[in-house]
Amino acid sequence: MTAVFVHGVPETTRVWEPLVSHLERKDVALLALPAFGSPRPEGFDATMDTYAAWLAEELKAFDEIDLVSHDWGGLLTLRVLADQPANVRSWVSDMGDLDPTFEWHDTAKTWQTPGDGEALMEVFLGASVADRAAILEGVSAPQPGATVMAEHLDRTMADAILDLYRSATDIGNDWGPGVDRIQAPGLLIQSMNDPFRNPNRVQTLADRTNAEIATLADAGHFWMLDEPENAAQLITDFWESLP
């Protein structure tokens, strides 16, 4: 049984390191999304469907999986779980529900707008690491994690982010129906200080998938950095409750 962790945007596998250090189990794999701290393969178009297909293929390498995901990793997980992969025993995510009313946050909308998205990325890439980190701290990324993310956000990642978000303008309609096909037991982590949190969507996703909800009262969007020990315990308790 392998615990497989899938990060989000604009992150690398390093976002999981503090949490994983608090796990007793050592059968852990940290998957690096292509172009996120790793090369972008030739011809990889970085759309949401391509990333989902990539994740589904990566998971085939494991016999049995406990899947843990965050942010875009969580969205990709919902898509992959809709196909009911036989080797996924359980899943953990911090996502909310996908349906036709799903609406992206303001930064995502900017990235999705040709010209505006490129301009925003140019400002970020042209800033110092300290200034980039300050921007990330503004959306609840704690130090030193904010600096680590700022150091790794390069042109390759920036271009992939734009391509990914522009492929996902209608993700609620495109991927939302698949949520009802998810059967594996799940745990939704709700961090109460996450500026992107939508409690109604978390509850709706729990209802649609029969997932449990666990709360981190003092954590933000990057809960695995804010409360790595508490998060590790929540996840471990969930795993131990499974048959």
Residue ranges of the domains in the chain? 2-104+174-241
pLDDT at 134: 96
pLDDT at 98: 97
Q: Which contiguous run of DSSP H or E holds residue 67?
A: strand 65-69
Helix 129-137 to helix 145-152 angle (10° resolution) is 120
pLDDT at 191: 96
For the chain, the average pLDDT equals: 97
**Residues in the chain where the model's pLDDT stays below 70:** none
Superfamily of domain 2-104+174-241: Alpha/Beta hydrolase fold, catalytic domain (3.40.50.1820)
Q: How far apart are CA 221 and CA 234, in angstroms?
A: 16
pLDDT digits (tens, 9 = 90+) for 137-152: 999 999 999 999 999 9
